[in-house]
Chains A and B, each alone.
Chain A
Amino acid sequence: MKKLMLSAIAFSMFALLAFSSIATKLISSKTSVKFFSTTPAEDIEANNYKTVSTIDTSTGDVVFSLPMQSFEFEKALMQKHFNSTDFLDTKKYPKAKFVGKITNLNNINFEKDGTYKVTVDGELTIKDIAKQQIIDGTIVVNGKIIEVTSKFKITLADHGIAFKNGKPSTNIAKTVEVTLVAEYPEQ
């Protein structure tokens, strides 16, 4: 009987642990990723609303997975250039990914309403080329919803996005600005 009790306690402890480890993971599929390139010739903007992200509030692990063909441009021709083998080669590399860790996790209370500055140190992989990125952002905890926003720059050459020649090479900036918003409902 005692043995049974013990195993029952052990089991419930395990169940509790398993449950709590699931509960610390925030998942967002309501996201907005915008990139903006500006040159004297042209401003170019593209939007992606199909990115998926997770934040593990206990370990600080942050992941973003971006379906590259979901970037929408105003001009169809720009969208074709973007997807083509000369640029992002989205048929071969359909997803870009960011995997990082929150470096100031102690300063963030995901359970308490408020606005928190966050720094994430990680690797951004575009076209299979990983590059370290330290990204600053803001986390707003508001009741049942946690919202993350950030703005940072990407140097295209870091990911092997080179412009040999032709019009697009002069019309696209060497670094582009990325604006990110992600909304995580509390699990």
Chain B
Amino acid sequence: MIMTKKKIVKLSLFVVGIGIIVAVSIALYLFNMPHRDVQATAADFTYTASEIVQEYLADSEKANEKYLDEEGESKILQVSGMVSSISEDFNHQKVVLLKNDNDPAGVSCTFTQETNDGVTNVSIGSQITVKGVIRSGATYDDDLGMYEHVIMEKCKIISYKESNH
């Protein structure tokens, strides 16, 4: 079949049109791509607060290599420990510090406005398990003159055990 000039023009316009629609949809999809839902994603590792703190204090570079992601979608951890303090940040998110009395640093877990409620009946001294994404590790900082905690965000309580005191 021999195509007329008109037909060729029509066909190429059609192909170009489809191409533009596909390109625009991909761009829109990428631009509006939602954030990763940390709580809907399975935990990569399960630890006690002491274990992850000790791993970082032993070799922070190695630990960063293992837990941090190049695009910021770092590993999701499930961490158990003793509640050492409870506070709230400027974004009205609850912050629970899991720290063993014998450790120089702990795991600071920041909740979200959706998961904050789970913290309401948590008391200091109780044992809890929290799932969240790691943002940075524990280290001794010379300039601050103190230890920095492991930082986890997007946290949610997985389990809770009343303290014995």
The answer on A and B forming one complex is yes
Q: Is the CB–CB distance between B91 and A32 below 8 Å?
A: yes
Please state if A84 and B110 are interface contacts (CB–CB under 8 Å).
no
Given contacts A49-B110, A50-B153, contact A84 B136 (CB under 8 A): no
A65 CB-CB contact with B under 8 Å:
yes
Within the complex, the shortest CB–CB distance from B85 to chain A, in Å, comes to 10
Q: For chain B, what secondary structure do more than half of its interface residues adopt (helix, strand, loop), or is it mixed? A: loop
Bound CA–CA A12/B92 (angstroms): 43
Q: What class of interface size applies to chain B in its complex with A?
A: 35 or more
| Majority secondary structure, A binding face | mixed
* A70 and B151 contacting across the interface, CB-CB below 8 Å: yes
| Partner-A contacts on B (CB < 8 A) | 30-36, 64-65, 68-74, 87-91, 93, 95, 108, 110, 135-137, 141, 143-146, 148, 151, 153
**Any B CB within 8 A of the CB of A91:** yes
CA distance A181 to B32 in the complex (A): 30
- Report whether A69 and B144 are in contact in the complex, using a CB–CB cutoff of 8 Å: no
What count of chain A residues pass the 8 Å CB interface test? 35
Q: Is the CB of B135 within 8 A of A50?
A: yes
Give the residue of B30, B33, B35, B89 whose beta carbon is less than 8 angstroms from that of A49: B89
Within 21-71 of A, Cβ neighbours of B (below 8 Å) are at 25, 27, 29-32, 47, 49-50, 52, 54, 63, 65, 67-70
